[in-house]
């Protein structure tokens, strides 16, 4: 496919094997883009780049100079950045009253300050030709779950920054949107998927009757990044209708586990 032939894309958060960032990068490569992938694990980035044809650049999202290196790598390839996707995140869970200060600082650095700086760098790199910036958010920025207050708050905060940047730079030809998955099987959520009963409790919350996949998010990324997309400043809910309902409560999850244990004898 050649949707993005001649275009250059950046995907940050692609240094875990088969994570959402790598799946998005795979799809952009298949659509013909030159893809620069970034993340903290240089060895995994190099492995992925060798296997896929992407270009690896080690990048810590909390370091603005590192983010600039991603943009510079893209600019050195084609003189422009057409697509920039931030899929970096940290799924840290803690009861609200027990949230450690160091963990709070870290998640804010990754999911708010880092994401804010990603937007700054990519808006700068996309001028004057324009482009599409996509922030991977979360359904939990809209609907509630338990023990993820810091995660939810930082995702919701950067969604509002997305709107501000879209408003300010639309006249420069820069579109900025976010995508909100629900529960998706990735390296970050592997603990949940070891408990089939809990997954079943989530499935019941999805009007479309299944858990979302990274491929679903990659497909939405392709549309948002394409020249056919006339959208900016929006949070695309790519979660099978989960935000029409709610995540299961701890009581519902515990009940599902107990039921599964009884059925197993």
Instruction: Lay out the sheet containing 235-236: strands in order across.
Output: 55-58, 34-39, 8-12, 83-86, 131-136, 174-179, 235-236
The C-alpha atoms of residue 25 and residue 33 are separated, in whole angstroms, by: 9
Q: Can 148 be counted among the known catalytic residues?
A: no
Beta bridge partners of 175: 132
Closest CA to 64 of 16, 14, 113, 111: 113
The C-alpha atoms of residue 130 and residue 19 are separated, in whole angstroms, by: 28
Instruction: Give the CA distances from residue 247 to residues 112, 118, 204, 207, 252, in Å, rounded to whole numbers and listed in that order.
Output: 23, 29, 9, 12, 10
The C-alpha atoms of residue 198 and residue 195 are separated, in whole angstroms, by: 5
Q: What is the CA radius of gyration of the chain?
A: 18
| Catalytic one of 48, 92, 148, 151 | 151
Active-site positions? 151
């Amino acid at each position: 496919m050649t949707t993005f032939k001649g275009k250059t894309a950046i995907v940050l958060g692609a240094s875990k094997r088969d994570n959402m960032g790598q799946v998005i990068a795979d799809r952009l490569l298949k659509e013909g883009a030159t893809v620069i992938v970034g993340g903290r694990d240089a060895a995994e980035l190099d492995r992925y780049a060798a296997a896929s044809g992407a270009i690896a650049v080690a990048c810590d999202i909390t370091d603005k100079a590192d983010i600039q290196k991603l943009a510079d790598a893209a600019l050195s390839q084609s003189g422009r950045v057409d697509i920039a996707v931030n899929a970096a995140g940290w799924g840290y869970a803690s009861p609200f009253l027990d949230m450690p200060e160091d963990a709070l600082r870290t998640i804010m650095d990754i999911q708010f300050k880092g994401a804010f700086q990603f937007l700054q760098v990519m808006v700068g790199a996309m001028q004057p030709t324009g482009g599409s910036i996509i922030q991977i958010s979360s359904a939990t920025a809209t609907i509630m779950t338990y023990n993820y207050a810091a995660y939810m708050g930082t995702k919701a905060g950067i969604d509002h920054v997305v709107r501000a940047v879209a408003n300010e730079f639309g006249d420069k030809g820069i579109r900025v949107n976010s995508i909100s998955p629900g529960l998706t099987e990735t390296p970050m959520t592997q603990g949940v998927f070891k408990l089939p009963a809990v997954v079943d409790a989530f499935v019941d919350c999805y009007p479309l009757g299944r858990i979302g996949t990274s491929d679903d998010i990659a497909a939405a990324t392709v549309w948002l990044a394409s020249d056919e997309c006339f959208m900016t400043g929006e949070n695309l809910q790519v979660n099978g209708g989960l935000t029409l309902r709610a995540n299961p409560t701890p009581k519902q999850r515990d009940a599902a586990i107990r039921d599964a244990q009884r059925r197993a004898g």
